[in-house]
Structure 1
Amino acid sequence: MKLHLHTGEQQYQIHGVDSDAVTINQQRYPQPVIVSDQALRTDWFHGPWEKLDAQALSVILEFKPEVVLLGTGDKQRFIHPKHLQPFLSELIAVECMTTAAACRTFNILSAENRKVVAALLLEKHLSDAS
């Protein structure tokens, strides 16, 4: 799926997504990534969905977000509420959605200058790891 966004002040923009990769600034990333409008991290979570816990999610807090969009692959999955406590204590909203929906939502919120971070998992990695 290709995504379109008017260019603005964002350093990082998501341009496309499929089960195998996310395209950010015209570069494909075939691994899970965390992206904000000003930062990108490519050495994030690797493993089955069941292993995604508070420790793996804590990396996201380094981005100082107001909103976290957790892209859960090709299907919507929900993180266990006990793993969200660090976010709730900082009044950070966390939304779980498919990775494609997280990418679209990221572009919209980022264009509105919101402090949004997308933590994007790819179905391929979730399947390979299990």
Structure 2
Amino acid sequence: MKLQLARPEGSNVFTAYGEGYVNVNAARYGNSIVVLPDRVIEGWTASSPESLALADFEFLAALDAEIILLGTGATLRFPRAELLRPLMQARKGLETMDNHAACRTYNVLASEGRQVAAALILR
């Protein structure tokens, strides 16, 4: 699906998504990524929601974001509760959803100037 959204100058937005990929500012990504308004971080985590580890959430907690959107692929899968401790300690919000919903939600929040990050598992 292609998304049409006015892009604030210098801000990353999702411009398309599909099975196993997303486009950020028209650049295609097929591996797990973290997207923030000012940068894209490739190679964020392993290949499935089940393989998420504490180190993945420690990394997310250290980002300059007030809310993290966790995209778990084509279907919604919640991470194990014990993995959320770094985010709770850093007082960061987490919303878990499928990747398509995470892309749409990110675009809305980023367009509002919110400090948001989308962490997507794409494999």
Q: Give the TM bin, normalised by the shorter chain.
A: over 0.9
Partner of 2:76: 76
Q: Hey, what's the Cα distance between the residues in 2 that align with 1:108 and 1:49?
A: 24
Cα displacement (A) at 1:77: 0.6
Contact 2:71 2:97 in 1 (8 A): yes
Partner of 1:119: 119
Which shifted more, 60-69 or 78-87? Answer: 60-69
Contact 1:10 1:110 in 2 (8 A): no
Percent of paired sites with the same residue: 32
Partner of 2:29: 29
Q: Hey, what's the Cα distance between the residues in 1 that align with 2:10 and 2:116?
A: 11
Normalised by the length of structure 2, the TM-score is 0.93
Contact 1:10 1:111 in 2 (8 A): no
5 Å matches for 1:11-30? 11-30=11-30
Cα displacement (A) at 1:10: 4.3
The letter for the 1-side match of 2:78 is F
Cα displacement (A) at 1:81: 1.4
Q: Hey, what's the Cα distance between the residues in 2 that align with 1:112 and 1:10?
A: 14
Q: How many residues align?
A: 123
Contact 1:76 1:96 in 2 (8 A): yes
Where in structure 2 are there 5+ consecutive unaligned residues? none
- Give secondary structure in 1 for the equivalent of 2:62: helix
RMSD of aligned Cα (Å): 1.2
Q: After superposition, what is the alpha-carbon deviation per residue over 1:5-62, rounded to whole angstroms, capped at 9, x for unaligned?
A: 1121442111111122110011100111101000110121123322102212222233
Q: Hey, what's the Cα distance between the residues in 2 that align with 1:59 and 1:3?
A: 28
Q: Hey, what's the Cα distance between the residues in 1 that align with 2:35 and 2:106?
A: 9
Contact 2:49 2:121 in 1 (8 A): no
Contact 2:48 2:72 in 1 (8 A): no
